[in-house]
Chain A
Amino acid sequence: MNATLYEIFKIFFIIGIQLLGGGYVIVPLLQKYIVEDRKWLTEEELIDYYAMSQCIPGIIAGNIAILSGYKARKIPGAIAAITGIVMPSFFSILLLAHVLMNIVDYPVIQNAFWGIRISVIILILITIKDMWKKSVNSKFTYFVFFFILVSLFILPVSPAIIIVFSAILALIHSKITGGKTNG
């Protein structure tokens, strides 16, 4: 239970290295390193924190790190945890960016990136499909989706405005239907 700040930093640094392809994979990693090996959290707390992380703004993996670090050593612990989880990202991106800058002019690399741009479109489409399945499932959600999609083509506004607008819309909707989450 008595975690040192360095240990918190180190564990989240190790978890950060292993995060590939999205923050969701953080739960089994935390289960192993923090719940089973070090007992900073109980399994129940981890489940709670995961649920909380999804309804707090911000990156899910970052939020779980902040919550777990706070549980172990209050605010200094939270800072150690978020710093630890960010560092592998930060340094690996800087390194790759630097390497890419030096090789990007080779025709082979340019052709590879031409293909990778198609890959990115595929990844976005797959993500849209997953998001759609989880979120667009009622009259209200169909309305929000198509209303926003059509308005974006007519008038491209800032995504922040869209988010605030749809939050207000959802609040009004839940007031009218009496707070049923699937209304």
Chain B
Amino acid sequence: MVKVYFLLAYEFLKIGVFALGGGYAALPFLFYMQTKYDWFTVEELTNMIAVSNITPGPIGINMATYTGYTTAGIIGSIIATTAIVFLPFIITIIIIKLFNKFKSCSYVNDIFVGLRPASCALLTSIGIQLLFQSIFYDKIKWSLPFQIDYKALLLFIILIIPFSFMKKNPILVIVAGAFGGILIKMI
């Protein structure tokens, strides 16, 4: 168990430093964690993402608390939450002490020109994997012809059409998905 605590701390310290650009930037790291350690299933992880979206607080913090809790209980949640903010805390304090005025971070901006598309590509790869896993085949086995989960495909189409035109509203998307899921499974 102690080993799990250290691994959790290590993984979330890493997310704290490397997940740049909003709460969703942490998702590729969590999926990578899932394949590396088997602490939780992909289904559990998507459930945690959903809950983090409808809970108060920054999504990144919510995800850290939840994955820490699922992996190693309350102590795990304390470790993961502390770890994800620890290094940014140190870095922020150092930066504000060194440069009292840090207005134009032009050097950093140059780096971000490369980091943002990288973050976007990481998330895209997760999006494609999830889409295939939930609509085109069960579990994680490739078999041609694709087994299509028609109910999942139907719900996907019903949800994507209105929400791709609307301003991002996570709570509404999740509530609609929950009711859609209950209704479609009754058919």
Which A residues fall within an 8 A CB radius of B? 16-24, 48, 51-52, 54-63, 66-67, 70, 75, 78, 82, 85-86, 88-90, 92-94, 96-97, 100, 108, 111-132, 134-136, 138, 140-142, 144-146, 148-149, 152-153, 156, 158-160, 162-167, 169-171, 173-174, 179, 181-183
Q: Collect the chain A residues with CB atoms within 8 Å of residue B22's CB.
A: 22-24, 60, 127
With A89-B58, A112-B182, A122-B159 given, is the CB distance from A144 to B121 under 8 Å? yes
Question: Apart from A85-B58, A118-B156, what are 8 other A-B pairs with CB-CB below 8 Å?
Answer: A92-B55, A116-B181, A117-B43, A120-B49, A131-B24, A135-B119, A159-B32, A183-B113
Q: Collect the chain A residues with CB atoms within 8 Å of residue B155's CB.
A: 115, 118
B113 pairs with A121, CB closer than 8 A: no
Which single member of A120, A130, A132, A166 contacts B46 (CB below 8 Å)? A120
A176 shortest CB reach to chain B, Å: 11
B49 pairs with A131, CB closer than 8 A: no
Which single member of A18, A60, A120, A170 contacts B115 (CB below 8 Å)? A170
What 3 A-B pairs are tightest by C-beta distance, nearest first?
A115-B181, A58-B88, A170-B114
Q: Which of B1-9, B138-146, B172-180 lies at the binding interface?
A: B172-180
Which B residues fall within an 8 A CB radius of A? 14, 16-24, 27-29, 32, 35, 43, 46-47, 49-62, 65-66, 69-70, 74, 77, 81, 84-85, 87-89, 91-93, 95-96, 101-103, 105-106, 108-127, 130-131, 134, 152, 155-156, 159-160, 163-164, 168-171, 173-174, 176-182, 184-186
What is the bound-complex CA distance between A113 and B108, given in angstroms? 40
A21 pairs with B93, CB closer than 8 A: no
Q: Collect the chain A residues with CB atoms within 8 Å of residue B173's CB.
A: 119, 122-123, 126
Chosen A-B contacts, 22 in total, with CB atoms closer than 8 Å, are: A57-B20, A58-B16, A58-B17, A59-B61, A62-B60, A96-B55, A97-B70, A112-B181, A115-B177, A117-B130, A125-B127, A131-B24, A140-B113, A140-B114, A141-B113, A148-B121, A159-B28, A160-B29, A164-B18, A166-B118, A170-B110, A182-B113
A145 pairs with B121, CB closer than 8 A: yes
Which single member of A56, A117, A174 contacts B113 (CB below 8 Å)? A174
